């Protein structure tokens, strides 16, 4: 996992950053949204 991907992954649960939707597979995005 690259530093950028790791930063986005860490960012997503806290901020639910829109860019995470573009990067993460749909299943992961749905799991984070829950």
Q: pLDDT (tens digit, 9 = 90+) per residue, 1-31?
A: 577 777 767 665 656 555 555 565 666 666 6
- Does the pTM surpass 0.85? The reply is no
**Cα separations in angstroms, 14 against 7, 9:** 11, 10
Confidence of residue 34 (pLDDT cuts 50, 70, 90): low
CA distance 5 to 2: 5
Q: H or E element: which one contains 33?
A: helix 26-33
Domain range for 28 is 3-33
Report how many domains make up the chain: 1
CA dihedral 13, 16, 20, 22 (to 10 degrees): 140
């Amino acid at each position: 996992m690259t530093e950028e991907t790791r930063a986005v992954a860490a960012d997503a649960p806290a901020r639910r950053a829109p860019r995470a939707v573009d990067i993460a597979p749909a299943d992961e995005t749905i799991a984070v949204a829950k």
